[in-house]
Structure 1
């Protein structure tokens, strides 16, 4: 998935090319972002260094919805590591991501 590969490289241009201008990203208990500018600011969150390692274990697609499940690891500025399982629900419109909901639990 181009979007995930963009995150693994912290490639803002690639990630943003996958998004609608009015994209929304909701991570329950964490944040709710609207628009490419807010999304762009979260690509390299100030609490982390480098790029994450993402492993997708399952992709499920139906109509304009794709669900990706997997693991993510990333080094934090504090020296600790984020090691979490995730479930991303992508809603597409005209072939690009219109809405993303991310559920994440640390291992």
Structure 2
């Protein structure tokens, strides 16, 4: 797949999550990717990242609405809202702010800030 910008790489990353497509997501990442979910955990490497894609507390794939995206050199910031379904509490929505660091055309680091908005 040909991408022309770091922002398009991030859009592809989110599309992979919405489709529940592990290979599609992992294709956007460096082998030593680091994913920091503030207040929750830090994952290092594609294997750890892959294990978190299908979080055991969530059923199905999340949906995302990217409301704003900013790019400055190798950094892309995506802000928006999302929805998912928890096994224990049902549907919920959240706001997110993800900061992506791009290296050699792939995502090398994701800093995720997630804020719960509601539970249905």
TM over 0.5: yes
In structure 1, the gaps of 5 or more residues are: none
Cα distance, 1:106 vs structure 2? 0.8
**Number of matched pairs:** 107
Q: Match for residue 24 of structure 1? A: 34
Q: Match for residue 16 of structure 2? A: 6
Using structure 2 for the length normalisation, give the TM-score.
0.87
Runs of 4+ in 1 over 6 A off after TM superposition: none
Instruction: Name the Cα RMSD after superposition.
Output: 0.7
In structure 2, the gaps of 5 or more residues are: 1-10
- In the alignment, the residues of structure 1 paired with residue 46 and residue 29 of structure 2 have an alpha-carbon distance, to the nearest angstrom, of 7
- In the alignment, the residues of structure 2 paired with residue 45 and residue 51 of structure 1 have an alpha-carbon distance, to the nearest angstrom, of 10
Map residues 73-92 of structure 1 onto 2, 5 A cutoff: 73-92=83-102
Equivalent residue for 1:102, pick from 90, 112, 119 = 112
Using structure 1 for the length normalisation, give the TM-score.
0.97
Q: Match for residue 70 of structure 2? A: 60
